Structure 1
Amino acid sequence: MTNTQAEQAAAARRAEEGTAVEAGSKATERFTASGKLAKLEVPKERVSLLAGAAIKAINDIAVEHQVTYEEYNALKAWLIKVGTDGEWPLFLDVWLEHTIEDVNSKDRPGAASTIEGPYYVPGAPVLQTPATLEMREDEEGTPFLLKGRFTDTAGNPIQDAQVEIWHADAAGYYSQYAPGLPEWLFRATVKADENGYFEINTKRPAPYQIPTDGACGQLIAAAGWHAWRPAHIHIKVSAPGYQLVTQQLYFPGDPHNEDDIASAVKPELMLEPKPRADGGEGEEAVYDYVLAKEGEHK
């Protein structure tokens, strides 16, 4: 599906089913319920350092660019709208998370990682390899097989490894974040076999726009930016005793690999799709995972 076709499909879906506010509210609710803040114990000195640096940076921008009261009030109104639309998870995951991820993964050997994004849902159905993700009978998209193998940094097979996988449908919508989609559409936790090998059958996703009818879309329009993300498959890979790796896997030739609005594309995450080796319909790609043991560093 081309960008134009994806945009038209997304517009039609939005008109009938969902809005950015609905998706944003669900993202906010899920983050609040995720437990990620349950053990937050940041020393006061660290809070003072980070908050002080952020406040200083904003004030420096105001001085450097001679911000007017009209611009300040527009910013204040927009920040309020980000909150009322529930889009803080979207805003932070699109424009900040890639830097946080780079900082936190720089010393970990093994598979490359990137941002999680706002649409992860834990507890997806558990499937054994070879697995087929849930999809509708008339699901659009090219059949796609993702397969690979888990090893440690010494090249030994990893047992009890798993792949959490999720991605959008052909219109750019994620299950549980847009009405009218099956609950676990294109979502699963796939268990690798005893040799660390896995196979996952799904449909190749299309490029899509992040929601543009809320506060984030208002910023994008005002700045003259685009809202496109290249086609990608979300992945979390893990095994007992090994460090979790979060990824998005991309497809060559996508026009937005070079200007992804979320700045999440890395060369190490690019797939190499080929015709199915078994002669079946669609494509396949091999992506192997090297996982670092807990506490292991470069």
Structure 2
Amino acid sequence: MTTTEHSPTAAGSGASASQVFRATHSATDTAGEVSAERVDDVARALLRAVHEVIREKNVTYSEFQAAKQWLMDVGEGGEWPLLLDVFVEHVIEDVAARTQNGSVGSIQGPYYLPEQRRVDSPATLPARPDEKGEPLVLAGRVVDLDGNGVGGAELDVWHADDQGYYSGFAPDIPEGNLRAVVVADEAGWFEINTVRPAPYQIPTDGPTGNLIAAAGWHAWRPAHLHLFVQAPGYRRITTQLYFAGGDWLDSDVAEATKPELVLDPQPGEDGRLHSTYDFVLEPAS
């Protein structure tokens, strides 16, 4: 595996996230599906909300100009994926969940990279020979709403390393490190061997960090595993799994944690941490 050339800065992470987003989404993906009436309704509601905040908070011209400059800086710095994924996506996910059954979801975040190595379960995520971190085993089953195993279900897994950095978004980490698409067996059972990730601070050296500092917020996310869980004919689950007792679990800057998504790994006789979690897929609409 080759090492990345990205920097773990706001600009580097923003550029990587923007590149991935543009490669996997097209402006025309939904353009034909959204009516002019829907655009009018949502856009007017959004603008009304902004206008109401300005009136309620007596926003001054100097504050307005500072906000305008900040919005320009966000765009020029390529930080829109970071900003929207951290501060907005959890609400989009909450709205989507109103009509969904099956396992609880969470946000995707900006650090997904497609087309990772496919490995059959039981699987070990690609890692450096000297990968640091407590060995972790996540096992479980992918089932349908009736409890039947979904054979060959795919679990696209990615997470930060022991220092809180993601491959593809930080220097000197091999491409594909701690990322893989794990294929469950014919009964839906899976086992994923990896290391426990660390909490991490979102990049704060750009305009998103300037906002966080100006508002007196913290920039930390609790340690978590990212997963897409999918199979033909079923709705894909996008979720994150957290760890009981972890730092920032109750004050996630992205507000993406949910009680149903918290693991409680226990030490096994083999010296590794073990946790189980089952995923329930619903039919695609």
State the TM-score, normalizing by the size of structure 2.
Answer: 0.95
CA distance in 2, matches of 1:250, 1:135: 20
AA matched with 2:280: V
Indicate the residue corresponding to 1:24 in structure 2. 14
- Structure 1 residue 38: Cα displacement: 3.3
Contact 2:199 2:247 in 1 (8 A): no
Point out where structure 1 has 5 or more consecutive residues left out of the alignment. Answer: 1-15
AA matched with 1:53: A
Which one is further off, 35-44 or 241-250? 35-44
- Structure 1 residue 17: Cα displacement: 4.8
SS at match of 1:76: helix
- Structure 1 residue 88: Cα displacement: 0.3
Q: Which whole-Å deviations, capped at 9, do the CAs of 1:59-87 have from their partners, x for residues lacking one?
A: 11111111111111110111011011111
Contact 1:231 1:251 in 2 (8 A): yes
Q: Does 1:126 align with 2:130?
A: no
AA matched with 1:124: Q
CA distance in 1, matches of 2:278, 2:91: 25
CA distance in 2, matches of 1:170, 1:72: 41
Which 4+ runs in 1 deviate beyond 3 A?
Answer: none
Q: Does 1:100 align with 2:92?
A: yes
- Structure 1 residue 252: Cα displacement: 0.4
Contact 1:17 1:180 in 2 (8 A): no
Q: Which whole-Å deviations, capped at 9, do the CAs of 1:99-140 have from their partners, x for residues lacking one?
A: 101111222111100100011111110000111111112211
CA distance in 2, matches of 1:79, 1:178: 25
Contact 1:149 1:198 in 2 (8 A): yes
- 1:262 aligned to 243, 254, 257, which one? 254
Indicate the residue corresponding to 1:292 in structure 2. 282
Point out where structure 2 has 5 or more consecutive residues left out of the alignment. Answer: 1-5
SS at match of 1:237: strand
AA matched with 1:55: L
SS at match of 1:127: strand
Report matched runs for 1:173-188 at 5 Å: 173-188=165-180
SS at match of 2:37: helix
Q: Which whole-Å deviations, capped at 9, do the CAs of 1:204-262 have from their partners, x for residues lacking one?
A: 00111011111110100000000000000000001111110001000000131111000
- 2:139 aligned to 120, 144, 147, which one? 147
CA distance in 1, matches of 2:20, 2:279: 28
Indicate the residue corresponding to 2:271 in structure 1. 281
- Structure 1 residue 281: Cα displacement: 2.1
CA distance in 1, matches of 2:242, 2:26: 27
SS at match of 1:103: helix
- Structure 1 residue 287: Cα displacement: 0.3
- 2:80 aligned to 88, 94, 111, which one? 88
CA distance in 1, matches of 2:29, 2:71: 27
SS at match of 1:147: strand
CA distance in 1, matches of 2:159, 2:28: 27
State the TM-score, normalizing by the size of structure 1.
Answer: 0.91
Indicate the residue corresponding to 1:34 in structure 2. 24
Which one is further off, 128-137 or 34-43? 34-43
* Percent identity of equivalent pairs: 49
CA distance in 2, matches of 1:30, 1:212: 21
Indicate the residue corresponding to 2:158 in structure 1. 166
AA matched with 1:128: D
Indicate the residue corresponding to 1:9 in structure 2. none
- 2:206 aligned to 203, 214, 219, which one? 214
CA distance in 2, matches of 1:109, 1:254: 28
